[in-house]
Amino acid sequence: MPNTSSHLPCLTGPLVVALLYDQLCTFEFGIVAEVFGLSRPEMGENWYRFASFAVDDGPMRAHGGLQITADAGPELIDRADIIIVPGWKGANASVPDDLCLRLRAAHARGARLASICSGAFVLAATGLLNGGVATTHWRYADAMRSQYPDVTVDDASLYRSHDRIYTSAGSAAGIDLMIEIVRQDFGAAAANSVARRLVMPAHRTGGQAQFLERPVAKRDGVEISPLPDAIRSDLSRAWTIAEMARFCRMSERTFLRRFTEATGAAPGQWLTNVKVDAAKQRLCQGREQMEEIALAVGFGSAHTLRHHFRQTIGISPAEYRARFMEEQARTLA
């Protein structure tokens, strides 16, 4: 892997450091390096600085037979603004005590922590996820529940956030999370720019549940599939569980079971995520008041919008809009 430390003096933005270890998950590290370590002069001098640090002594190898060398040792954590764990050696692989101590100290001073796929096990080992919600690859979800019972494991979402700690599902979901971090730091225009260079959507709908090894059979000729489109086309409508069940011509009990089977999420949580996505779009498109946006996307009040937006995204709607407007101003300057 190329040494990126020479790039640090040229930029003034947040310092992102990625963890390297023997048996490194190559693709996961590549995602982090692509988003945060690639030269992006169009973003200006306050773009991210990027470097890597090693937790293992001696020679390290990555998947595919690559030999890797880090920019620095774990002491780099003490300077980092964002620390990313790109996978881990395995769900049952131990996490060094020194690494846990450094990650806890970094979080206590305000650094953000993030993981891709099995990297969530490193963050869980610190204890910082206790009492919160995290995700990981659906294949590792049961192992995480067993090892860390104080962590609520969401095996349906592409990524989750909890107290400045971000976790993502399988490898490709790491791209979604990294782009979301860019969106939070530099606004939607910057996130869209990064996504375009990756030739992928800036935001994917749905979750990892669609990839679970649990195909859902059609029953009685009734399908759930028309419902999501109907909801998205009329979010201001009062979509109660009873209303959704009537739309699908099912009893509420049957509807709840089949909807969760089909989407991996309960109807209420799925609906909240769709409303938040719609609110994000409206926040970036104009100067609508919060009450107007809340009514348009079906939250009913600005207070409810703010609550769910912060729970889902990690920042308030006003802050999300402000960051987008700042990025737009930088782009037009």
Domain residue limits, the chain = 5-198, 213-263, 269-332
Quote the pTM value.
0.65
The DSSP result for 300-311, as a single string, is -SHHHHHHHHHH
Task: Please tell me what DSSP assigns to residue 61.
Answer: E
The answer to whether domain 5-198 and domain 269-332 are alike in fold is: no
CB 50 within 8 A of CB 7: yes
Task: Please tell me what DSSP assigns to residue 79.
Answer: G
Q: Assess if CATH 1.10.10.60 describes domain 269-332.
A: yes
Q: What is the pLDDT along the chain (333 residues), one digit of tens a residue?
A: 444 444 455 788 999 999 999 999 999 999 999 999 988 988 889 999 999 999 998 789 999 989 999 999 889 999 999 999 999 999 999 999 999 999 999 999 999 999 999 999 999 999 999 999 999 998 899 999 999 999 999 887 888 888 899 999 988 889 989 998 998 899 888 888 898 888 776 666 545 554 444 433 344 445 677 888 889 889 989 899 999 999 998 999 999 988 887 777 789 988 998 898 889 888 887 788 999 999 999 999 999 999 998 888 778 898 888 877 765 565 455
- Coil, helix or strand for 155? coil
CB 74 within 8 A of CB 55: yes
* CATH superfamily of domain region 5-198: Class I glutamine amidotransferase (GATase) domain (3.40.50.880)
- Coil, helix or strand for 253? helix
